[in-house]
Amino acid sequence: MPKALLLENIDPVATDLLGAAGYEVERLREALGEDDLVAALDGVDLLGIRSQTQVTADVLRRCPGLTAVGAFCIGTNQVDLAAAAAAGVAVFNAPYSNTRSVVELALAEIICLARRLVDRDRSLHAGTWDKSAAGSHEVRGRTIGIVGYGNIGSQLSVLAEALGMRVLFYDLEQKLALGNAEACASLEELLERAETVTLHVDGRAGNAGMFGAEQFAMMRPRSLFLNLSRGFVVDHEALREHVLSGHIAGAAIDVFPDEPREQGDPFDSVLRGLPNVVLTPHVGGSTQEAQHDIGRFVAGKLLEYRTAGTTTLSVNLPTAALYGSSATRFAVLHRNVPGVLARVTALVGGHGLNVDGQVLATRGELGYVLADVSAPLPPDLLTALQEMPETVRVTTYGP
């Protein structure tokens, strides 16, 4: 029976789907360090993680039986994608499944900060009645600046406009504005014009430290700041200084440069205890609805790959799908050089098999041949495919 390991409290729907497909599933609540992860992956075919478990090149080297990794979240920076591709390990994620959850949290926090609800809540819990309109504002009519206009940023744009906010956005790529949103030519322009700035950028290395003292200084006095993207993009010391000086009137942070690995672990941050600052433990996408959708989506992608060779929406392999059925399907992941498809076809024909369907996809240095043939692969044909100098991995499906 093939095995799957699911870490970090992935929704049980993934366990159900994999189990129904014949997998023996081990499900753990916590993340695992490198050595523990390698030990746990002994005999495991599929690995499911969220944001804390690091799948490094060394882990991949020490676990040659691993065939696919599912990141049950948006980001994949916790996986060495190049090393995974070189090892023939497919990686899938859930780029859209928790978009709504993140957007709703951002909107809730914007309203919370504008009304200074954190301070009002703390006062009442401390036994002080502080009923005042001082520093409390409606969000209607205020200008929000969205940095990163992808799936989350664009949906936030639509809902913020529905609340009556004016929407500005900035993205490194040219994006079509939705509704009445206005694109800014530079980050500096957005910071000078927006009263609320919210970050929704991806995890690429170039975004590390993108928002620090210089950017906070450019923001309008008494503006609001949110980061629900990646912890390493913001200088928290600089944010602390600007909150204490009053230049930033409030902030909401959901992601941190260093996050505890397990539930209940201690947490520390220079932002703790600051006025009108909302700190949440990386829960932007953590609603029951989102986690269920993510569990179902990523588990489905893993099963499509392992049962049919489908790599659609893989983040590191060429993407291909072959529809129809045949006696045997096989896939050859290989170095992307000329002539491989012709050689594969010639080998199949030389063994008296007919190709019923075939597709080739390439991505960077890799190529991926997915083929249906009329009969089971003879052992010597399988060996010949594996021994081609360009081959990274050969996988067979069916008899």
Active-site residue, 230 included: yes
125 catalytic residue (yes or no) = no
What CA–CA distance (Å, rounded) separates 392 from 289? 38
Stated as kind and residue range, the H or E segment containing 359 is: strand 355-363
- In whole angstroms, what is the distance from residue 89 CA to residue 80 CA? 11
Confirm if 168 and 196 have CB atoms less than 8 A apart.
no
Q: At what angle do helices 99-114 and 151-162 cross, to 10 degrees?
A: 50
Identify the burial level of 98 via C-beta atoms within 10 angstroms of its C-beta, where 0-12 means exposed, 13-18 middle and 19 or more buried: buried
C-alpha–C-alpha distance, residues 2 and 6, integer Å: 14
Distance CA 186, CA 168 (A): 11
Residue in 329, 303, 302, 331 with CA at minimum distance from that of residue 318:
331
- The C-alpha atoms of residue 126 and residue 115 are separated, in whole angstroms, by 19
Residue 165's alpha-carbon distances to 145, 180, 194, in angstroms, are 10, 10, 11
Angle value at C-alpha 176, between 174 and 179, nearest 5 degrees: 145
Query: Of residues 27, 282, 329, 334, which has the active-site annotation?
Result: 282
Give the active site residue among 30, 259, 304, 390: 259
Q: Are the beta carbons of 132 and 80 closer than 8 angstroms?
A: no
Q: Give yes or no for a contact between 4 and 25, defined as CB atoms under 8 angstroms apart.
A: yes
Of 367, 290, 375, give the one whose Cα is nearest residue 88.
Answer: 367
Task: Assess contact for 317 and 90: CB atoms under 8 A.
Answer: yes
User: What secondary structure does DSSP assign to 238-287, as a single string?
Assistant: HHHHHHHHTSEEEEEE---SS--SSTT-----TTTT-TTEEE-SS-TT--
Q: Does residue 259 have an active-site annotation?
A: yes
Query: Looking at 116, 142, 230, 240, which residue is catalytic?
Result: 230
What are the catalytic residues?
A: 230, 259, 282
